[in-house]
Structure 1
């Protein structure tokens, strides 16, 4: 097996309900997937075929993008009406010619404008965190991670439940690439001396305990109820 070039943290969140409590929620909600605008089956017409606990991976990546570069820029300044040009370094910048309409509005004593063609030294620093569900879709992360909310021996727990563990379908490389794309904003077309760096801060696999109930309803229709065992919430 090829070793990952990334240092990946493994976290398992603690469930806040057990299987019997999950079953109570399922029994209460089991007719919902089969209801329609006109009818809802009776509870006795819906059978709970199975209820299993799964650990589903949320892949979290965080990092920082820094860059500096030079870009061309135009800056306009206002000068007195009797100024005809400005000297800056080795450059001479003449006033902007006024149109007839401008002269009519501001008169001969109106401020003159000078366009300075300069170069700006730009510094960029962007940080972000992205999270993906086990299918690789972007998701929000609503969970709190601290010593009270995580399992003490995450890898051991996952090994004991390996058949019910859903790893991420997204590769680490793809997740990192998405983060880089998110952080690196499109640059101007005319830049020079670009220095840029992407720093990967962290990759974590955070496993969420999910109770999944398989239901058999009228006409043998099958439905699934999923319960977030951390927030005690039907998904």
Structure 2
């Protein structure tokens, strides 16, 4: 069973109305029926209907934090006449040079010492993912501020039911994808791992979309979709 979440609801404001959307569809109505060899005449394509829908884009944001120890090897350079280094209770010998390294650096080239130690690592990753109403991950294309959103989103959605397309992906599934993106694979040899995923926000953002249902030659049916925010054919 899905957990209970506080979800913010946002509706973007239309920048075109039904009349302008219908004019755009009328101008472009033959496009869905064209092929490499032919395109129907405008009088062969009929606009059956134009309807306004509100389609959800689901936005999820959060952060992943982790704290752990991992084994590591750090290499330092020392003067040519240093044979070993004492660090704490450890003694670290210089690395043997290959014949190529000796030829390259000469007799007085720097010596290398590999020091095996543990690193205390702190990780913090933050991000936001957007999904269309089918649950496909998308790049979020809109600006959201007081000038671009409706004042009473829930009331507007209730008024437009059943032309509201709710998210098909669950909140749990969307958050699982976000967490998977934030959590990078850890090294195999770690200890005292402490990790946490922190949810920042879940937003259902509804985009007004005009859909024109077209009937063309041989009663073939096609759809033209217009983003009513950006006045863009999708």
- Whether the TM-score (by the shorter chain) exceeds 0.5 is yes
Q: Which runs of 5+ in 2 are unaligned?
A: none
C-alpha separation in 1, matches of 2:197 and 2:120? 19
C-alpha separation in 1, matches of 2:230 and 2:69? 49
Post-superposition Cα deviations, 1:138-183, rounded to whole Å, max 9, x if no partner, equal 1111111111111111111111111100000000000111100010
C-alpha separation in 2, matches of 1:81 and 1:234? 69
C-alpha separation in 2, matches of 1:107 and 1:202? 60
Structure 1 position 192, deviation (Å):
1.0
C-alpha separation in 2, matches of 1:3 and 1:159? 23
Is 1:159–2:150 an aligned residue pair? no
Local SS of the residue matching 1:163: coil
Match in the other structure for 1:185: 184
Match in the other structure for 1:11: 10
Match in the other structure for 2:81: 82
Structure-2 change in CA distance of 1:114 and 1:155 (3 Å): same
Structure-2 change in CA distance of 1:222 and 1:110 (3 Å): same
Give the 5 Å matches for 1:35-114. 35-114=34-113
Structure 1 position 4, deviation (Å):
5.4
Structure 1 position 3, deviation (Å):
9.0
Local SS of the residue matching 2:138: coil
Structure 1 position 108, deviation (Å):
3.4
Match in the other structure for 1:217: 216
C-alpha separation in 1, matches of 2:32 and 2:137? 25
Q: Which runs of 5+ in 1 are unaligned?
A: none
Structure 1 position 101, deviation (Å):
3.8
Structure 1 position 116, deviation (Å):
0.5
Structure 1 segments of 4+ aligned residues over 4 angstroms from their partners? none
What TM-score do you get using the length of structure 1 for normalisation? 0.95
Local SS of the residue matching 2:162: helix
Structure-2 change in CA distance of 1:107 and 1:5 (3 Å): same
Give the 5 Å matches for 1:118-133. 118-133=117-132
C-alpha separation in 2, matches of 1:191 and 1:185? 14
What TM-score do you get using the length of structure 2 for normalisation? 0.96
